[in-house]
Amino acid sequence: MNKNLLVGLVSSLLSATAYSATTIEVSAFYQSGSGFNVSQEIVGVYRSLENINELMAEKGINAEFKPTYFGTLSDSEVAPTENVFSGLQYMRGLDAAVEAKTDVGDIAIGIFPRLGSDYGFAQLIRDNTFTNEPNETRKMAIAGGASMGLSNYSAFVYLAGHELLHAVGAVHEEATAINFNTQGDSREDGFANICDNGHQSLIGASSLYTDKENISIAGATDCSVGGGDVVGFVNQYAPLVGTIAAERNNRTLTVSASENMNTQSFDINITRTDTSAADIIRVYIAGGYSDTGAGLTPIDVAFGVGAVTASTSVFFDDIYPIFDAADGTDQSTYIVALGDSEISDSAYDLLSVNTQWTSAQVGEPDDQIKDSEDAGSGGGSGGALGIWTLLLMTIAGTRRYLKNVKHHHRHEK
Ligand SMILES: [Zn+2]
């Protein structure tokens, strides 16, 4: 009886969670001939989605962007001479094969070289886009080499988030927000405000040229003056964006790591759910900002038929330079794993299991920012995972808050 009651509570908790936040599945395609550091780009997309999700939750938006697929665009598909603007046109239909290939998920991100000072573009969305193309994957593009944040503009970690909000329908300015309303009864308030701290909110044209901690979203309690209400706008339209494509729900790979003192390396374990076929699961490790950080060459981990877990390892000597590069930045050092049918749900913070490397940040011992456990390694199945994820999200959220506060002090010194 008690057990049944508990099961009942668990399922009602889970359904409450499922109904309160819309999941918008996002794919990403990087141009393979442009010389980007692949690990930095892939980890950068994960971190971009995690950062915008965290900000949206904090500011009152009940939606989350989740990764679902990563692919490449070869030189013959989109030449390396194309950029963040023209590459987007290929994805939008200038090349039918590229358009079809990138029709994955609710929103697809292209990663191309920047065009002058333009780091991102998104398809223009109006109310009639939802009426005329309810199931057409929305397209956007971001510049390679920026998504983990830049050393002088840490807010660039919201570059993808900025374009994602465009892909939902928000725009920079009040003057153009009225154009969204072609049908006469739609919103006209999906534009940026100047927030209480004097900084332009996220969707503003130059909003990214600041530090991450200065960013809010129009319509939030700290950014409600000016008439823009991107919080309300996204809350209204996100459910429609979330149903553009069928849910893939393939974020079932888990990553964990531990220090191996004998071999002076981190042992990395990948666990999968679908064991019916052999697969090569690729492991990407990157940390720090896009310009001053680093990413390792991807590592292939082979799974035989029936194999649940497989491992690889990376020497401390190869990881510590990334820890050094990430030291004192808003980013840590992360592991992401991608397979054919399953991918990581979140970026695994490798620093959370470190005890040997020490930060050069004076008075900030490394163990202050250690996680007790990472959400990505929760494992389990069914209901238990949901509850653990909720609990671990709380732990992770507290940890991030502490980390931000610390960075604040660092800037003030
Ligand atoms: Zn913009």
Ligand 1 centre distance from Cα of residue 248 (Å): 28
Residue 413 binned pLDDT confidence (cut-offs 50, 70, 90): very low
Q: How far is CA 165 from the centre of its chain?
A: 13
Res 389 pLDDT > 90: no
The pLDDT of residue 186? 98
Residues sharing a CB contact under 8 Å with residue 197, sequence separation 6 or more, in sequence order? 214, 216, 222
Q: What is the DSSP track for 194-218? A: B-TTSPBPTTSTTTTSS-GGG---T
Q: Please report, for residues 150, 156, 281, 408, the alpha-carbon distance to residue 361 in angstroms, rounded to integers and kept in the order given.
A: 19, 23, 35, 13
- Average pLDDT over the chain, rounded to an integer: 87
Res 206 pLDDT > 50: yes
Ligand 1 centre distance from Cα of residue 57 (Å): 21
Coil vs helix vs strand at 32 = helix
On the CB side of 347, CA atoms within 13 Å amount to 25
Burial of residue 409 (number of CB atoms within 10 Å: 0-12, 13-18, 19+): exposed
Ligand 1 centre distance from Cα of residue 175 (Å): 14
The pLDDT of residue 194? 98
Ligand 1 centre distance from Cα of residue 328 (Å): 28
Mean pLDDT lowest for which of 70-79, 124-133, 253-262, 399-408?
399-408
Distance CA 155, CA 346 (A): 20
Ligand 1 centre distance from Cα of residue 161 (Å): 10
Q: Considering the entire predicted model, what is its pTM?
A: 0.84
Distance CA 411, CA 214 (A): 13
Mean pLDDT over 282-300 rounds to 98
Ligand 1 centre distance from Cα of residue 24 (Å): 19
Mean pLDDT over 13-32 rounds to 77
Distance CA 378, CA 174 (A): 44
Ligand 1 centre distance from Cα of residue 171 (Å): 7
Q: Please report, for residues 9, 44, 218, 362, the alpha-carbon distance to residue 186 in angstroms, rounded to integers and kept in the order given.
A: 38, 34, 18, 53
State which H helix or E strand residue 349 sits in.
strand 348-349
Distance CA 336, CA 49 (A): 13
Ligand 1 centre distance from Cα of residue 172 (Å): 6
Ligand 1 centre distance from Cα of residue 405 (Å): 28
Ligand 1 centre distance from Cα of residue 48 (Å): 15
Ligand 1 centre distance from Cα of residue 120 (Å): 7
Residue 363 binned pLDDT confidence (cut-offs 50, 70, 90): low
Ligand 1 centre distance from Cα of residue 80 (Å): 23
- Buried b / exposed e over 194-219, threshold 16 CB at 10 Å, is ebeeebbbbbbeebbebbbbbbbbbb
Coil vs helix vs strand at 278 = coil
Ligand 1 centre distance from Cα of residue 117 (Å): 12
Ligand 1 centre distance from Cα of residue 20 (Å): 27
Ligand 1 centre distance from Cα of residue 32 (Å): 25
The pLDDT of residue 361? 83
Ligand 1 centre distance from Cα of residue 336 (Å): 28
User: What's the pLDDT tens digit per position in 40-57?
Assistant: 999 999 999 999 999 999
Ligand 1 centre distance from Cα of residue 133 (Å): 22
Ligand 1 centre distance from Cα of residue 132 (Å): 23
Ligand 1 centre distance from Cα of residue 228 (Å): 15
Mean pLDDT over 162-172 rounds to 98
Mean pLDDT over 92-109 rounds to 98
User: What's the pLDDT tens digit per position in 214-268?
Assistant: 999 999 999 999 999 999 999 999 999 999 999 999 999 999 999 999 999 999 9
Q: Please report, for residues 299, 306, 314, 316, the alpha-carbon distance to residue 310 in angstroms, rounded to integers and kept in the order given.
A: 12, 11, 14, 20
Ligand 1 centre distance from Cα of residue 40 (Å): 22
Ligand 1 centre distance from Cα of residue 300 (Å): 36
Ligand 1 centre distance from Cα of residue 276 (Å): 43
Ligand 1 centre distance from Cα of residue 121 (Å): 7
